[in-house]
Structure 1
Amino acid sequence: MNELKVTIVDSLSFYRKCLQEKVDEQAFRYELMRPLEGMWRYLNAPLTPKTPGGYDVVMASEMLGIWTPRKSTELIESKVEPLSKTNIFNECSEVIAESAQLFSEIGYQIPVNEFIVDILLGDPENKVLMASEGYSGFGGIPGYMLLIVVPNDFNRTRLKSALAHEFNHNVRFTYEPFNHGDVSVEDYLVIEGLAEVFAEELYGIEHRGPWVQQYDQEELEYTIEVMKDGREARGFDQVSAYMYGDEVAREQGYQPVGLSRNAGYTIGYQLVKAYLKNTGKSIAEATLTPSAVLVKESKIFD
């Protein structure tokens, strides 16, 4: 039922060109970022700055941990071919087809005709990116998915799972749109928990991302209590502190709330697992369920 068009940006050719000749910011804007112009427009990041030195897709990319030509090519020269050898460029369409099939099985017609995938080299000097084993993604705008990768032995086998995670975000936000300016901690727990359980169902727990931590029972119970008290907090600074933990909060200038790394991802994962166990629903059905229902029926905060 869900037969989707998948467009994969040819970022490898761009990076190979960067290693052979001088490539400037304009090429980055128009070769790598223009296919995502609809996404960037939604995020208020223009292709070119409105004033010299102003906010644009280059600055936004660097904030996400993406390598840009403003930085030395020495940072990526040993990364281009390893990224190619992960085979994710050849596997993209298969991942999206397998992911979409779970929604076809429950009769959900995904209201997006085309998915644009941009697989980008990360900046090895970005501390937040490297703290998550050198890979990350963004799937907050339906129809667009980013993977950001500094290829290594850990992440090279997990990129299919990471793409499925971002695809789940895409589908979730066709059902319950993501309000970037007013998202709550509780909303974010659900969003990330759904995505990681979805990826795990497709590609196995052995390919789960590093953002889900193994807490012992004492730390798990403590973290759930902190989340319970803070789950109505809103604003990206507060949400980030709960989701990423104190170390990243300090790194980004946010107020720590007393949590370990990736606490929100870990509790979100536990929440969705509990919901599925308690209800017998599938992960695709859960993805199309209101956040409040997921939280209530998970009973994780009871």
Structure 2
Amino acid sequence: MNTINLECVDSLSFYKNFQDKQSNEDTFRYEIMAPFKKMWDYLNAPMTPKSLGGYDVLMASEMLGIWTPRKSFNLIENQIDPLEQTNIFKEYSDVIETALARFTKINYQIPLDIIHLNILLGDPENKLLMASEGYSGFGGIPGFILLIVVPNDFNRIRLKSALAHELNHNIRFTYEPFNRGNISVEDYLVIEGLAEVFAESLYGQEFRGPWVQDYDEEEMSYTIEVMKDGRNVKGFEEVAAYMYGDEVATAQGYNPVGLSRNAGYTIGYHLVKAYLKNTGQTIEQATLTPTEIIVRDSKFFQ
């Protein structure tokens, strides 16, 4: 099996140096985000804007809920020590190595030489980030993982699980690449379901993310029917409304479809659980299984 190296950006030093006025906006661009340039290039986010006030890596970061030096340092000044005290900077390598070993056991040759990790303080003024208990992540491009955190009592003990979730995305997309323009509701349900069930398999249900909601029987039945009717809808902007629910869809300018927050994450989780139960497959095997087979054999929409 190939060896996958792991490189974690030293964001803690950046924040501490910023406190001492030794870091600035350019440091953020060229030290914190430069290791992710390939990812940002893929997302069409240049290191510097092409025109004054134009789209760049800082603007893209802020859209993801990341604090940048364009905002007041007072927003994160008291979050630096709590972030360090979560111990994620000491534990991230064990999380990733343990997760990768699960795929080695099923003889999947992960086509990556290196995984870049960036653990960043989130913007406490970002409403979407704070609505997900102050943490989020991005693992949509193989070889690059962002973990975004405003540390609190809820998320500080769930960061390992969140990292495993994002790593599962990385591995899934080496097998079945993410296609933003052609992604369907079914695709996205499976993607998020696989990631959360994988994280749960490593760290337990008690550390599950807030994106999986506890619906009562009536709401679950209703939500499944809405998903069933819309499961072949394609295109990220249309699919996002099914995944995130009406509140987020409205805030982001998508057309709401009559769903509660994180509906797609919840249904995806239960769909993947049903697939594993019906087939006896492991979550690692499922991660390397086509969407249509998972949906079909889950019998979730029958």
Above 0.5 in TM-score?
yes
- The answer to whether 1:105 aligns with 2:105 is yes
In 1, Cα distance between equivalents of 2:164 and 2:3: 16
In 1, Cα distance between equivalents of 2:113 and 2:26: 29
1:3–1:97 CA contact under 8 A, matched in 2: no
By how many angstroms is 1:19 displaced? 1.4
Q: Which amino acid aligns with 2:77?
A: E
Q: Matched residues, percent identical? A: 70
1:264-297 Cα distance to aligned partner (Å, 9 max, x none):
0000000000000000000000000000000000
In 1, Cα distance between equivalents of 2:170 and 2:157: 22
By how many angstroms is 1:212 displaced? 0.2
In 1, Cα distance between equivalents of 2:2 and 2:23: 39
By how many angstroms is 1:22 displaced? 6.5
- The answer to whether 1:84 aligns with 2:84 is yes
By how many angstroms is 1:3 displaced? 3.5
Q: Which amino acid aligns with 2:17?
A: K
- The answer to whether 1:16 aligns with 2:12 is no
By how many angstroms is 1:25 displaced? 2.1
- What does residue 272 of structure 2 align with? 272
Question: Greater CA deviation, 227-236 or 254-263?
Answer: 227-236
1:185–1:233 CA contact under 8 A, matched in 2: yes
| TM-score, normalised by the number of residues in structure 2 | 0.98
In 1, Cα distance between equivalents of 2:90 and 2:70: 29
Q: Which runs of 5+ in 1 are unaligned?
A: none
Q: Which amino acid aligns with 1:195?
A: A
By how many angstroms is 1:232 displaced? 1.3
Q: Which amino acid aligns with 1:251?
A: A
Question: Greater CA deviation, 248-257 or 126-135?
Answer: 248-257
- What does residue 196 of structure 1 align with? 196
In 2, Cα distance between equivalents of 1:2 and 1:22: 39
In 1, Cα distance between equivalents of 2:27 and 2:179: 31
In 2, Cα distance between equivalents of 1:287 and 1:248: 27
1:49–1:56 CA contact under 8 A, matched in 2: yes
1:63-92 Cα distance to aligned partner (Å, 9 max, x none):
000000010001001100100011111111
Q: Give runs of ≥4 in structure 1 deviating > 4 Å.
A: none
Question: Greater CA deviation, 212-221 or 230-239?
Answer: 230-239
Aligned residues: 302
Q: Which runs of 5+ in 2 are unaligned?
A: none
- What does residue 159 of structure 1 align with? 159
- What does residue 253 of structure 2 align with? 253
By how many angstroms is 1:180 displaced? 1.8
What SS class does the counterpart of residue 31 from structure 1 fall into? helix
1:242-277 Cα distance to aligned partner (Å, 9 max, x none):
101011111112111100110000000000000000
Root-mean-square deviation over aligned CA pairs: 1.0
Q: Which amino acid aligns with 2:229?
A: D
